[in-house]
Structure 1
Amino acid sequence: MDCRSESATTGEGRFRVNANRKLLDVWLLVRCVSCDRTSKLTVHERVPVGSFDPAELDGYHANDPELVASRLLDPLFARRNRFTLDWKGAWQLDASSAWTDEAWPVQVEVVFEDPVPVRPERLIARGLGLSRNEVLRRIKCDIPLRRQTSAGFTFTVMAGDM
């Protein structure tokens, strides 16, 4: 961001589409939470008008919130524009305390509302109140526990006296 702040920007960005003859530039305008300045993140640069999907171009003109979110969540877009998203506090595992009364083993399905990157071992440890060592000992998962994911997964909690 222009202010060199470590602060986040709002996710309520707006697109700016600029025509230069038959070429379009598209930027995503975001506001810094810290200094309230607006910055331009390049979405497309000097792209022929005819190469755009009409629905996508309409989304840019209408400032479609889903299109804004998809651009901000795109890791290639973030790398190209030299920004990172701060996911601190962006996720939690909603688990009822009733799972401890169920017969063992207990199977849990994790579904993400948004593609927030998280290591399953951390999510499970925090959500179930277990140490990370206990997670590694008691949890059987369909994906590697120590590898970051932003896709849903399933895990099984084994009894504590294994």
Structure 2
Amino acid sequence: MSDHVLVRWTIVPRDCPRPVLACPTCGDARPFHPSGKIRLNANGKRLDAWLIYKCDDCDRTWNRPIFERRLATEVPPDELAALRTGDPAFVRRLAFDLPALRRKTSLIVQSDTVEIERVVVGGKTGATGAEIALAVPYPVGLRLDRLLASELDLARNRIAALAGAGRLTVIGGGNALNRPPRDGQIIRLDLVGVEDAPAIVAAAG
């Protein structure tokens, strides 16, 4: 078996998913973006919490329910503290909750612009292959073949050709190249005899 460079790519979308909703001010459907703010109301012993969104065009607000009429004693203390302080990490996790958004609208604009942190975790100089482990903490709207083409500096038809020849395989993925990347997938590149193998391996890391 040929030597492989082992690489971890952490893929993070630059923008949160934006639900498309009817905007009363604009008079038409518009994407709404999360404002980064939370509204928390107390009604006796019960709490209501919303994540606040704004229309992309006019800043009209929309409150997406996080929960309603929940007993304060039923909210985990760390979650309650995050709600009260508007903890940015907690807000970001809520903003990427696609199932919750899909309960409000079927049309969601997802970012196809991502940032990738690469870490080489093993391998040897002069390797003729690469294994890329994907860490995807938040859903992205970019297809895996487009991502690989961009990051490996290859045309998409070259990505398809490598896959068809068994030189590129996705472990844990089926027909994964046509779908967004998923957390835990591994991209294996077996490039023995491929003329531009060193450039591709270098691009992977």
Same fold (TM over 0.5): yes
Secondary structure at the counterpart of residue 13 of structure 1 = strand
Q: Does 1:151 align with 2:183?
A: yes
- Please report the RMSD computed on the Cα atoms of aligned residues, expressed in angstroms: 2.8
Tell me the CA shift for residue 38 of structure 1. Answer: 1.9
| 1:58 CA displacement | 1.0
**Structure 2 gap segments, 5+ residues each:** 1-20, 120-124, 196-205
Name 1:98's counterpart in structure 2: none
Instruction: Specify whether residues 149 and 116 from structure 1 end up closer, same or farther in structure 2 by C-alpha distance, changes over 3 A only.
Output: same
TM alignment of 1:108-123, pairs within 5 A? 108-112=132-136, 114-117=137-140, 118-123=142-147
- In 2, the alpha carbon distance for the partners of 1:79 and 1:40 equals 15
1:109 to 1:102, Cα distance in 2 relative to 1, 3 A: farther
1:38 to 2:38 alignment: no
Is the 1:26–1:44 contact (alpha carbons within 8 Å) kept by the matching residues of 2? yes
Query: Structure 1 residue 14: deviation in Å?
Result: 0.9
**More strand per residue:** 2
Percent identity between matched residues is 25
Structure 1, unmatched stretches of 5+, are 96-100
Stretch deviating more after TM superposition (143-152 or 55-64) = 143-152
Rounded to whole Å, the distance in 1 between the matches of 2:127 and 2:82 is 49
Q: Secondary structure at the match of 1:71?
A: helix
Q: CA deviation at 1:126?
A: 2.1
Contact 2:51 2:66 in 1 (8 A): yes
Matched, 1:80 2:103: yes
Query: Separation in 2 of the partners of 1:94 and 1:58?
Result: 33
Q: Which moved more, 1:114-123 or 1:86-95?
A: 86-95
* Cα pair 1:87 1:116 within 8 Å, conserved: no
61-70 or 13-22, which moves further after superposition? 13-22
Q: Distance in 2 between matches of 1:128 and 1:80?
A: 37
Conserved 8 A contact 1:28-1:40: yes
2:168 pairs with 1:139: yes
Pick 1 or 2: higher relative contact order, CA cutoff 8 A, min separation 6: 2
Q: How has the CA–CA distance of structure 1 residues 59 and 67 changed in structure 2, closer, same or farther, with 3 Å as cutoff?
A: same
